[in-house]
Structure 1
Amino acid sequence: MNYLLIEQADFRNQLKPFTFTRPIAEIRVGILTIREKWEKHLDGSLSHISTPTLSEKYPTKTEAQNILINSSVCPNPELVKAIQLGASLKKDGVLISAAATEEEIGFFDPKQKLEEAAEYDGDINLITQSWHIFQKNADEIRSDFELITAGRNTQHVNDPHTSVYGEKNIFIEEGASIKASILNAENGPIYIGKNAQIHEGAIIKGPFAMLDNSHVNMGAKIKGDSTIGPFCKVGGEVSNSVFFGYSSKGHDGFIGNSVVGEWCNLGADTNTSNLKNNYANVKLWDYAKGGFKDTGLQFCGLMMGDHSKCGINTMFNTGTVVGVSANIFGSGFPRNFIPSFAWGGAAGFSTFQVKKAFEVAQKVMERRDKTLDEVEQKILTEHFQESKLDRIWEKE
């Protein structure tokens, strides 16, 4: 059977700014992306049905018979077994999966499929809001840990100056290096990817995951429920936050209850507030609404889209949303919604023109032996055009 990951439009809007540059299923939550989770469970590759802007980078592969899976649904063993039987499933008004022929995919009617679907009585983890990425990260680390370490042998901590607690909950891949650190996995697992490095004086509490070739810098304090994607460098204090990959927070400063996309950089002593002084619920910018939305959360920090950067000593207010390819600098608190391709800070913004954004992105990606190819440039160019309405200074 051919499996495809299909998106629900309202969920896609709610997951911006991260879905400006990727399908929903390419979001990392836990150790793996949602797509990687499904591929591990189903033992095969999956493709996406996403927006036209992303179709060249993420092509759709169909066959005569297909099972469509909602991209916002994280798999578990019981759900996977039910889907493999080929039945259409729903949960609390959300379509989980549906069978479709190749011809039907072009005329797919979610409402009709929802009416036909059987109610699934098991539990599911849905990623439908941007804050769900950090909110459900601990559960997904535990789930992914069991999935990818089952039946495998871990490398061991050989450094005599590293203290380990809850050793049975720690899995270390080949090539990883850990020196003079503290690893505490008593409250949740710790996963260390291939060639990852934990430097001297770092303190890490599980649940925690760091992917291949990433670094936790000297003296870092990782409080748990956090994920550091591949090729990241992270230091300072981190709590319940997710770095998708290829991003850096190399110096001191606090980030909590936050999500950072790819190719981002947080300058030295950047701090995020994750709690309002009056302890009220945090509101986040809602792209579909064009205004702020109550998250229902008391703790919520920074949502930063791909390729965005901030200078030293940047102070982000509680519940700040930063779009794609923004550059924030200067003293004071910048506004808590910063549109894509914004250049500036508390004193005001101008437009970071797309050609300049390409120049920076190319230099940053070359440091990881990657290139900003024509497909990536096309995605950013189309987003630059569609995000003009958010940059209010361009209307003046």
Structure 2
Amino acid sequence: MQYILFDEPGIRTAMLPFTFTRPVAHIRIGIWTITEKWQNWLGSPVSHLTEAYLQTKFPQQTADDNVYINGAICPTDALVTAIQQLANGEALLLADQTLVAVRTQQRLGAAPTAAGYVALTTTESPTVLRQLPDIFLQNGDQIRADFAKITAGRTSAPLTDPYTRVYGAENLFIEEGATIRAAVLNAEAGPIYIGRNATISEGTIMIGPFALCDNATVNWGGKMRNNTTVGPYCKVGGEVGNSVFFGYSNKGHDGFLGNSVVGEWCNLGANVNNSNLKNDYTNVKLHSYATGQLEDTGRLFCGLMMGDYTKAGISTMFNTGTVVGVNVNVFGAGFQPKHVPSFSWGGAAEGFSQYRLDKALQVVRETVSRRNMAFTEADEAILREIYSMHAK
């Protein structure tokens, strides 16, 4: 049996700019990406059915028995059981008719629908990503779910630093190789997970639910609020709350980031700040790639959505509900526009021009090589395709 996570087209569009560079299931929410969650719940590898230009990096693996699973849905034990009990030709749906999974002998070339399958309905109500704010809105609950899965039957590495104070120690789990110095960790209201070889520097205050993933760092004096995930190899400082960093991104200095999502390979310069609440307490509107307009999120709190490979200069200010695309270089005085398209260069005061592709790729190569990682031909092909989508 092969498990394939598919991109539901409407959700995939709603999750832009993050799904420009990855399948929906490679979004990080909680401690793991959705892909990692399914692999661990199923106890089996998974592959992806995604956009054609992403398929080289994220290939689909099929056999004579295939289960296609909606990559926007986070697993639960009951949901996994129901999926594994599907017979060939059956589909599993949520009560609202959202397609969860289908089982088929065919290799599909596009996301499935329930048409042509025997439809079964589950009473489960799993976490489903439907719009960008869901990533941070559901992050605390997903930290709890992943924490329970990761720590089941395991013992935390010991906390050896005598100058660190822990509240709710039963909700703290430390992986081997992690370093913690003179910090205050409060896990009374939710778990704190410290990944392998992660670093919590002196003076850090951290409130759970919180996930600091493998090889990630919180710099000196960091104020880490609850419901936050700092992905692998990220370096963060200042004040961060109810936000998700996917991985390999930096916000190393002072400045506030709240109710926000930052992709991979991003850098936020010193004193970068975002607003996450409007002064008139009305709902935040967010750029929609489906309509090309600002759409009401139905939420009072919503900050910055930043696509992969984007960099913000020192003291850059982002307004409530700002969406910045892939491979943007943004800087300068004043609040930036509510939407900055991919491959833009400039700022609100200076104006924007199109980022030269050769220069953009050069900067990406330098960024990735600093972490001793390879920028592959598949990665470059993806960025070239995104550039062609936005070329003027």
Q: Tell me: CA distance 1:108–1:192, structure 2 relative to 1, closer, same or farther (3 Å).
A: closer
Q: CA deviation at 1:355?
A: 1.0
Q: State how far apart, in whole Å, the 2-side matches of 1:151 and 1:27 are.
A: 27
Q: Does 1:373 align with 2:379?
A: no
- Secondary structure of 1:376's partner? helix
Q: CA deviation at 1:102?
A: 2.6
Q: State how far apart, in whole Å, the 2-side matches of 1:164 and 1:323 are.
A: 39
- Deviation by residue 1:270-295 (Cα, 9 ceiling, x = unmatched): 00000011111001100111111110
Q: Does 1:154 align with 2:185?
A: no
Q: Does 1:278 align with 2:277?
A: no
Query: What's 1:55 paired with?
Result: 55
Contact kept, 8 Å, 2:6 with 2:111, in 1: the verdict is no
> Which residue type is aligned with residue 69 of structure 1?
I
Contact kept, 8 Å, 1:29 with 1:136, in 2: the verdict is yes
Query: What's 1:287 paired with?
Result: 289
Query: What's 2:209 paired with?
Result: 207
Query: What's 1:179 paired with?
Result: 181
Q: Tell me: CA distance 1:111–1:97, structure 2 relative to 1, closer, same or farther (3 Å).
A: closer
Contact kept, 8 Å, 1:175 with 1:195, in 2: the verdict is yes
- Secondary structure of 2:115's partner? helix
- Secondary structure of 1:88's partner? strand
Equivalent of residue 110 in structure 1, options 110, 113, 129: 113
Percent of paired sites with the same residue: 51
Contact kept, 8 Å, 1:281 with 1:295, in 2: the verdict is yes
Query: What's 1:17 paired with?
Result: 17
Q: State how far apart, in whole Å, the 2-side matches of 1:334 and 1:53 are.
A: 30
Q: State how far apart, in whole Å, the 2-side matches of 1:287 and 1:111 are.
A: 26
Q: State how far apart, in whole Å, the 2-side matches of 1:353 and 1:381 are.
A: 11
Q: CA deviation at 1:254?
A: 0.1
* Structure with a larger share of its residues in helix: 1
**Greater shift after overlay, 116-125 or 217-226?**
116-125
Q: Does 1:319 align with 2:325?
A: no
Contact kept, 8 Å, 2:66 with 2:104, in 1: the verdict is yes
**Greater shift after overlay, 368-377 or 30-39?**
368-377
Q: State how far apart, in whole Å, the 2-side matches of 1:354 and 1:19 are.
A: 20
**Greater shift after overlay, 187-196 or 370-379?**
370-379
Q: Tell me: CA distance 1:228–1:109, structure 2 relative to 1, closer, same or farther (3 Å).
A: closer
Equivalent of residue 144 in structure 2, options 134, 142, 145: 142
Query: What's 2:99 paired with?
Result: 95
Q: Tell me: CA distance 1:107–1:173, structure 2 relative to 1, closer, same or farther (3 Å).
A: closer
Q: Tell me: CA distance 1:301–1:109, structure 2 relative to 1, closer, same or farther (3 Å).
A: closer
Query: What's 2:365 paired with?
Result: 362
Q: State how far apart, in whole Å, the 2-side matches of 1:342 and 1:358 are.
A: 13
Q: State how far apart, in whole Å, the 1-side matches of 2:260 and 2:135 are.
A: 9
**TM-score (structure 1 length as normaliser):** 0.96
Equivalent of residue 344 in structure 2, options 300, 317, 342: 342
**TM-score (structure 2 length as normaliser):** 0.97
Q: State how far apart, in whole Å, the 1-side matches of 2:61 and 2:220 are.
A: 45
Contact kept, 8 Å, 1:95 with 1:117, in 2: the verdict is no
Q: Does 1:351 align with 2:354?
A: yes
5+ residue gaps in structure 2? none
Query: What's 2:67 paired with?
Result: 67
Q: Tell me: CA distance 1:109–1:308, structure 2 relative to 1, closer, same or farther (3 Å).
A: closer
Contact kept, 8 Å, 1:155 with 1:171, in 2: the verdict is yes
Contact kept, 8 Å, 1:358 with 1:372, in 2: the verdict is no
Q: State how far apart, in whole Å, the 1-side matches of 2:285 and 2:29 are.
A: 22
Q: CA deviation at 1:65?
A: 0.7
Contact kept, 8 Å, 1:98 with 1:117, in 2: the verdict is no
Query: What's 1:120 paired with?
Result: 122
Question: What is the RMSD of the two structures over their aligned residues, measured on CA atoms?
Answer: 1.1
Q: CA deviation at 1:93?
A: 1.8
Q: State how far apart, in whole Å, the 2-side matches of 1:355 and 1:149 are.
A: 45
Q: State how far apart, in whole Å, the 2-side matches of 1:132 and 1:225 are.
A: 12
Q: State how far apart, in whole Å, the 2-side matches of 1:153 and 1:111 are.
A: 43
Q: CA deviation at 1:61?
A: 0.3
5+ residue gaps in structure 1? 389-393
Q: CA deviation at 1:108?
A: 6.5
Aligned residues: 387
Equivalent of residue 262 in structure 1, options 261, 264, 281: 264
Q: CA deviation at 1:387?
A: 2.0
Q: State how far apart, in whole Å, the 2-side matches of 1:339 and 1:299 are.
A: 22
